[in-house]
Structure 1
């Protein structure tokens, strides 16, 4: 089970919770630094830490078996956090899932495997995980959940084709998906993304 860092409001004081998932080589502490830029003042923040700073060893589009058992363990780690929040009385509408890069992929993948009306899902450069997008492994209805995906048009890790596939599938599952594709090659979080997420999801 991953270690977890808590920040922001205490859970017994918060009405909203953001689960913040770091990227490959990142840390729970590093993803929590987004607290300085995002409208998270009213949130309890939960940041799981991946073993060895990596949620799964290979590309998110590698053959599925190559990323096991790390991938399944990572999905279970996120689910453990969600189930604990539900046990504490939080509804999925009070839960926001947010990640960058590998953490963005994991955010989208977990949400699609367990679709419900979440407060929001934010993927700063990510797409659904797998060698191919297999619609049959996803279930549930997002009920209008706002989902954001931002990326450069030639990101070195996340091809635009997978972002489009992800947008289409999530939309079919009832999510309201917004994509921002930037004319750059940078693997980063841009101010325009932060501004949009603050105004439309973390408001």
Structure 2
């Protein structure tokens, strides 16, 4: 199970007006995902990156029935909930909290914010979709209040089918997100410069 092990960069949460919670992918690390901040317009943000136990947030594909990824999935979601509460307790309002994830971290990011929809600063998912063998609308509550959301993905991608990305887009849109999805032909399982540019333009410059 996951413990709240985090690495921070940028400003302290007690001094910053905005915070970005960055979620690494399977086999990645908090240190890895933090290096992305060098390419994002987040210089004045508090940067917070939790570390998954054993480098993975849940053991199987995000397309498996959620019960098969338990108790790890619930533990990962609980870590994000606790970090969000800590950021708010330090004086940063919910509408100034941003989320970003890559791959497994993007799936976890989307799952967390959609289960806890609210007006956030913004959400960036580099290759991800909502978690489960199918979409479970009953898990998702709240309203995004026009929170800007950007999802970028490859077609094809070895882990994340475009169909799941589009189904996730539909749910978030119905819940009030101002969402933009870009699908890149044969990009591979990576993050492109165009995705970085769009994340800055659509989310971090808002």
Alignment of 1:52-71 (within 5 A): 52-71=54-73
Q: 3-state DSSP class of the match of 2:204?
A: coil
Q: 3-state DSSP class of the match of 1:103?
A: helix
The yes-or-no answer on 1:27 pairing with 2:7 is no
Alignment of 1:177-196 (within 5 A): 177-196=179-198
Q: What's the counterpart of residue 8 of structure 1?
A: 10
Aligned length: 203
Alignment of 1:77-88 (within 5 A): 77-88=79-90
Q: Superposition RMSD on alpha carbons, in Å? A: 0.8
In 1: Cα distance, 2:90 partner to 2:113 partner: 20
Per-residue deviation, 1:12: 2.0
Q: Is the 8 A contact 2:14 2:91 kept in 1?
A: no
Per-residue deviation, 1:185: 4.6
In 1: Cα distance, 2:54 partner to 2:24 partner: 12
Q: Is the 8 A contact 1:92 1:117 kept in 2?
A: yes
Bigger mean CA offset, 185-194 vs 46-55: 185-194
Pick from 89, 99, 102 the counterpart of residue 91 of structure 2: 89
Alignment of 1:154-193 (within 5 A): 154-193=156-195
Q: What's the counterpart of residue 139 of structure 1?
A: 141
Per-residue deviation, 1:42: 1.1
Q: 3-state DSSP class of the match of 2:159?
A: coil
In 1: Cα distance, 2:177 partner to 2:14 partner: 29
Measured against aligned partners, the alpha-carbon deviations of 1:140-188 in whole angstroms (never above 9, x if no partner) come to 0000000110000100000010000000000000001100100115000
Pick from 115, 124, 127 the counterpart of residue 125 of structure 1: 127
Q: 3-state DSSP class of the match of 1:128?
A: coil
| Structure 1, unaligned runs of 5 or more | none
Q: Is the 8 A contact 1:156 1:185 kept in 2?
A: no
Q: What's the counterpart of residue 74 of structure 2?
A: 72
Per-residue deviation, 1:2: 2.9
**Displacement over 4 Å in runs of 4+:** none
Bigger mean CA offset, 160-169 vs 179-188: 179-188
In 2: Cα distance, 1:25 partner to 1:35 partner: 19
